[in-house]
Chains A and B, each alone.
Chain A
Amino acid sequence: MTNEAFETPNLLLALPEIWLLAMACVVLVVDLFSNDRDHGPAFWLTQVTLLGGIIITVSTQWGVDATTFSGTYVADSLGALLKIGILVLAFLGFAYSRDYMRDRGILKGEYYMLGLFAVLGMMVTVSAGNLLSLYLGVELMSLSLYALVAIDRDSSRASEAAMKYFVLGALASGMLLYGMSMLYGVTGTLDLGEITAAAAELDDRRFLFLFGLVFMMVGVAFKFGAVPFHMWVPDVYHGAPTPVTLMIATASKVAAVGLFLRLIGEGLLPLLESWQHMVVLLAVLSLLIGNTVALVQTNIKRMLAYSTFNHVGFILMGFVAGTPEGYAASVFYALTYAFTVAATFGVVLLLARKGFEADHITDLKGLNDRSPLFAFVVLILMISLTGIPGTVGFYAKWMVLKSVVEAGFVWLAVLAVIGAVVGAFYYLRLVRYCYFDKAEGEGPQPTGSGGFQAVLAANGLLVLVAGIFPGTLVAVCLAAFL
């Protein structure tokens, strides 16, 4: 940057975020002046915004490698890939949630506003080229999510969950910020590219980097919900309205992958040997804890919360090697996992109706008799989450395992597979309920509009198709790093 003149930022490069920001304001205004009790205009505008965002991201950012706003914003394939994932996941989340939110009287304009802001925060996070914009993105995302968790006014469980999420999240954000200020204190720059260069050179001040690193790792691990920074996960998953849980479980995980990659995976790659053991520790703890607890859960949301740890362990394992292949494996894993889980929550939402949550595992009993299509969707989702060969979940696990074995952590791979096999018990239990058990009484019927059902079915079948033809997605993920 020395002796360069100040350059005017190229706004076009950041078009996806600008579009989303502008549209969020439009949604806000339109909703204010609309009398529709179901907030229809806000819903449709939001979905158009997200779809438009996908198109813009694909056309302006894929295959590009450029920075703008003095290096604050990075437009590249990795960011584009993660953003597309986030946008699609948010689209699914909104598509699944309308009936549910309306039935509970919490379908407000703010729901769409906060949701869009959360998405914007995630997009900023994954495109950040600078510590400050990274932090702003994370804060934007987190604050929106805290508010979303608390959106159900009558639920004491939700209020309590929101409070815990907020207080713990504030502490974690604080840690992230301290870590960043340490880095600034040592290098005198906020630019991630320059920090990477400094990290490679500074030998005598290396240990100061490490302190910053530890604090940032804590913050990132919290956003992932990695053990031992995981305690908010079950309470928040269970307490939040299911559509919000969906958002936290899917899109925010993808954003967390972006956060890790920008900040540590790429930003502090020269310090690989220093953070590798921390990631291994987090991965091991995540793989070990939660699985046994998930075995005895009877609430689907709690079960998914505890089983998340195992998947988070896998995602972290992809980071361990510090290679492009490993990172690509993590991205592939996070994306496929998020889409599978999104559809799972979709099924829970499909079966829910006014005054009834359908989040108990026995609610799935005899689903095959009521709706063969969605019983089949559950079957696909669960075998994919288990990682049975031929499903997309298997390829995700395989890519991750391959990268850690190549990095020399065979024992970690063994541990991970054992965890995955344990997972088979609670995932396949749901399949058993769907197909082999009779419903107790009537059993919840699939409700929801035709559009909802069509999107959900497509989501489920896409998981199946991705399992049969994984090549394209694998290639895309690899291309984002090479």
Chain B
Amino acid sequence: MLLAVLSGFILAALAPWLTRSLQDKAGWVLALLPAGLFVYFLSWVPVVVAEGAQVVAYPWIPGLDISLTMLVDGLSLLFALLISGIGTFIIIYAGGYLHGHEYLPRFYAIMFSFMAAMLGVVLSNNLITLFVFWELTSITSYLLIGFHHEEKESRWYALQGLIVTVGGGLALLAGLIMLALAGGSFELHEILASEELRDYGFYAGMVILILLGTFTKSAQVPFHFWLPNAMAAPTPVSAFLHSATMVKAGVYLMARLNPGIGGTELWLYALGIFGALTMFTGSFMALRSTGLKAVLAYTTVMALGTLTMLIGIGTEQAIIAAMTFLLAHALYKAALFMLAGALDHETGTKDITRLGGLRQLMPITFITACVAALSLAGLPPLFGFIAKELMFEATLQAPLISTFTTVLAVVSAIMIVAMAAVFSLRPFLGPLKETPKKPHEAPLSMLIGPVVLAGLSLVFGLAGFLPATALVGPAVAAVHGAPLDFDLYLWHGINLPLMLSVLAVVAGLLLFWQWDRVLAVYRRMTFIDRFGPERGYEKLMDGLVWLAAWQTRLLQNGYMRNYLLTIVLTTVGLTGWTFFVHTGSSAPLGTIEFAVHEIVVAGLVVLGAIVASVTSSRLGAVATLGMVGFGIALLYVFFSAPDLGTTQIMVETLTVILLVLVLFRLPAFQNLSSAAARLRDAVVALSLGGLMTLLILAVNAVEVTDRISDQLVAWSYPEAHGRNIVNVILVDFRALDTLGEIFVVGLAAIGVYAMIRLRAEDRKK
């Protein structure tokens, strides 16, 4: 099972090489892998039908407790079969469609990676691996949609799809982690077995986050705009993305989680209402489209909405309808897309209004299109009819939102019937029209898929028990949480769903008859383009760039003093906060006792610091700095540190000399800052100074009894034979640190040397 998922990645690595060496036969040979996988998954069907869900575990990195577990039940098998089965035909089809294309090897590589990722999504039992595969489908589909990367539009729409789905993915991840917390495990089969998910404290937040992920992936309103734009992809990709993969991943996840977190009012309203709206939007937009692929793309939006709505309704009837509809849609949508590609490929145009009279030239295409379109329209004896009947039944029985969903379902059905007719009849009937290429029948590689899939739609329609027991039944059991006993057949007797179907067909055909007028009406409704959610997306993207620029201006503006201000203020904030939390606002003032000479020196130091800060003369600044330095030296001496005093005096002298030497090679002082800036800086500086004062007072209030230096004093003479304890510490006890100090100073010297030497070399030049 693990190999089944990973084989796609392995073949992806080999695909470019295989494609080059196999030349024309590449498509047929490469299709052997998905075909083999299809057979393999098929062999699991009896196991699952007989024994229920299976969990297959593989240890991956035992040291980090990561294992790969796979969940094989009706739902994952249904998806796996669709992915591998339709994938087989897509691979063959791509061999014909992209025949001789420069990047065909690369195409196969990405395509197999995508297929493997998709299998990973539907078979993963671990939430983390599921998410990883989920994001992998986003990234690989981005590469597929942007396959024609020379075209700017293609790249733009690919990126749009990626950003919307990955953005949703982020929300999903947060939702999944909450789900894992609520369920106490990252393994799906354990989470779904938990009874407490619906009582989880953050249930609503969790559901909304998960739905943000699935809605963006499955193109629900208001995130639906990226899907039709993704038509920029080559047709084999669209056929695969729209029928069995990518966009269905969202539906898969909602169906998967339904037994665990479904069945609440939130679930019903969110899925039911957004699903129904999506269904309506999809059909409404399909009706106004004239491109072959655009029509199909919007009917996909319709189908995704329908599926979401049915999962939301969640009754037994609705679940059966959802799984049946899922299967029916995958079959006819893949066939129709491949046919659209064939028409485009052989005539050179995708515009329905420019096609006509092709029934003689492309008879197989015509007949197959009719069969598949009948299934789309939901007419007997196709499988799509069963699905549509079940859907009407489910909406009629829906709790709370029955009227809303039924009305939208019927209206959508009317428009879909019209578009099915437009798609299957307009290009083929009537007089032959001029097309960019001289049309002829498509090659076998491009027809085998549509013919087989459309044929299956017919077979499943006539023999409903086949899918009912093997495919839909186990899937329904998985989504509902318990097996249901049902059967699929065409004739349900004369009932309300049948009447609604008849109504839809009649009204739909009327609409088809008047389609050119409908188009004219649409053309006047320009507001759709101006205020759609796509504009929102563009605004958002602009906003992101603006945010980045704003952030840069704020944080990375190059002004060093702003960097300094940030560091100082953060420090003051953190320390000040700690201070007041722990001591209250009162500073522990010690007793103020001092000797006169001390206070005089201290006063001079402060005075020097102030003068140095405000003087406008360089010489004055250097002189007062000297005063500060020598004053400090005196303070050292007063407080029993004669060594420090001498060192400070020497260093201070050197500093003054250095300053005099260098400072006067620099320009004179200037007052560059405004008064407001000076005031702000003074406030910041004083706040840090004040804070330091408070801290010293606080430290001074503490008595330290046992200092390690007492030992050093005791050792000083007996061990090191030195009478100046400070010196003994420096050269004996702490010799290593002193060595380090010497190196730091030496290093500074090397740095100074490096820079001064460069100057000397400059002069030589």
Contacts and interface: CB of A to CB of B under 8 A. Distances in A.
Are A and B direct contacts in the complex by CB distance below 8 Å? yes
Interface of A: 1-2, 5-6, 9, 21, 69-70, 72-73, 108, 110, 113-114, 117, 120, 124, 130, 132-133, 136-137, 139-140, 143-144, 146-147, 150-151, 153, 163-164, 167-168, 171-172, 175, 178, 182, 185-191, 194, 205, 207-208, 210-211, 214-215, 217-218, 222, 228-229, 231-232, 234-235, 278, 289, 292-293, 295-296, 388-389, 395, 398-399, 402, 410, 413-414, 417-418, 421, 424-425, 428, 436-437, 470-471, 474-475
Contact of B64 (A150, A182, A194, A474): A474
B564 interface: yes
Contacts of B720: 6
Contacts of B494: none
Given A214-B578, A292-B551, A222 B567 contact: yes
Contact of B708 (A1, A113, A151, A185): A1
Contacts of A139: 744
Contacts of B658: none
The 10 closest A-B pairs by CB, nearest first: A207-B582, A147-B751, A136-B740, A188-B707, A231-B563, A153-B758, A188-B704, A185-B699, A110-B754, A296-B548
12 contacts: A2-B711, A110-B753, A136-B740, A147-B754, A153-B762, A207-B582, A222-B567, A398-B64, A414-B177, A417-B173, A421-B169, A474-B63
Contact of B149 (A72, A124, A217, A436): A436
Nearest to B740: A136
A108 B754 contact: yes
Contact of B66 (A110, A172, A293, A398): A398
Given A185-B699, A208-B702, A234 B548 contact: no
B737 A133 contact: yes
A295 B758 CA distance: 38
Nearest to B566: A228
B456 to A, nearest CB: 36
A5 B149 contact: no
B708 A188 contact: yes
Contacts of B560: 163-164, 167-168
A191 B709 CA distance: 12
Interface of B: 61, 63-66, 129, 132, 135, 139, 143, 149, 166, 169-170, 173-174, 177, 181, 544-545, 547-549, 551-552, 555-556, 558, 560, 562-564, 566-568, 570-571, 574-575, 578-579, 582-583, 692, 695, 698-699, 702, 704-709, 711, 715, 719-720, 733-734, 736-737, 740-741, 743-744, 747-748, 750-751, 753-755, 758, 762
B571 A215 contact: yes
A295 B571 contact: no
A189 B705 CA distance: 11
A191 B755 CA distance: 37
Output the residue of B544, B709, B751 with the most chain A CB within 10 A. B751
Given A218-B574, A231-B566, A113 B555 contact: no
A311 B289 CA distance: 47
A168 B564 CA distance: 7
Q: Which residue, of B63, B173, B567, has the highest number of chain A Cβ atoms within 10 A?
A: B567
B265 to A, nearest CB: 27
Contact of B173 (A120, A153, A164, A414): A414
A18 to B, nearest CB: 10
Contacts of A171: 564, 567-568
A475 B456 CA distance: 55
B736 A133 contact: yes
Contacts of B556: 231, 234-235, 293
B699 A188 contact: no
B750 A418 contact: no
B421 to A, nearest CB: 41
Nearest to B576: A214
A188 B758 CA distance: 46
A413 B755 contact: no
A186 B699 contact: yes
Nearest to B175: A414
B173 A140 contact: no
Contacts of A399: 64
B61 A421 contact: no
A272 to B, nearest CB: 15
Given A6-B715, A6-B733, A207-B582, A114 B567 contact: no
A208 B701 CA distance: 10
B578 A428 contact: no
A222 B566 CA distance: 12
A123 to B, nearest CB: 12
B695 A182 contact: yes
A188 to B, nearest CB: 4
Given A133-B740, A418-B170, A410 B707 contact: no
A153 to B, nearest CB: 4
Contacts of B149: 436-437
B61 A470 contact: yes
A35 to B, nearest CB: 17
Given A137-B740, A185-B702, A414-B174, 14 more contacts: A6-B719, A72-B737, A117-B743, A133-B736, A147-B755, A153-B758, A163-B560, A168-B560, A222-B567, A228-B566, A289-B551, A395-B61, A418-B173, A424-B135
A144 B746 CA distance: 11
A425 B139 CA distance: 10
Given A211-B578, A414-B173, A418-B174, A191 B708 contact: yes
Contacts of A69: 736
A188 B706 CA distance: 7
